Amino acid sequence: METHMSDINECLKAANDFKDKMNDNLKVRKLLKRWNPLIHFDTRDSDIKLSFGMSGGMAVSVESGHVGNAELTVTFPTAKDLVDMFYGKLDPTPMYLSGDILVKGHQADVIKLDAITMIIWPEK
């Protein structure tokens, strides 16, 4: 499993774009007002790992690597799938329901993640 720096940088760029879209959306911020998890994202086809911090309805951090103890871990089949989800090109729900995306954590947190994508990209 080989990961190139350009792959990591693309994932970080996409994750930061997603973070900005979340923070710019009042509806998302209201939904997540009391939601403060640390979320880890990773992929099965690479060594890419990201930490996504939430606090008070805002996405406050995106970091390379698994930093801290996550309440939720989301594993995508490929780095491309992860990037595509962050950019709104991939609806994660069908992949989650088919078992292609693995999630460890509370079901309520999974539902909130799904709601975020539906609010940001309603056509998905």
The domain tally of the chain equals: 1
The C-alpha atoms of residue 124 and residue 111 are separated, in whole angstroms, by: 16
CA-CA distance, 73 to 124, in Å (whole number)?
A: 22
- What pLDDT shows up at residue 5? 60
The per-residue pLDDT for 44 is 96
Per-residue pLDDT 10s for the chain (124 aa) are 555 667 889 999 999 999 999 999 999 999 999 999 999 999 999 999 999 999 998 999 999 999 999 999 999 999 999 999 999 999 998 999 999 999 999 999 989 988 998 898 876 5
**Domain region containing 59:** 1-120
Question: Per 3-state DSSP, what percentage of the chain is helix, strand, and coil (rounded to 5)?
Answer: 45, 25, 35
pLDDT of residue 15: 97
- 76, β-bridge pairs: 43
- Looking at residue 14, which CATH number applies to its domain? 3.30.1050.10
On whether the CB atoms of residues 69 and 38 are closer than 8 A, the answer is yes
Residues 109/74, Cβ–Cβ less than 8 Å: no
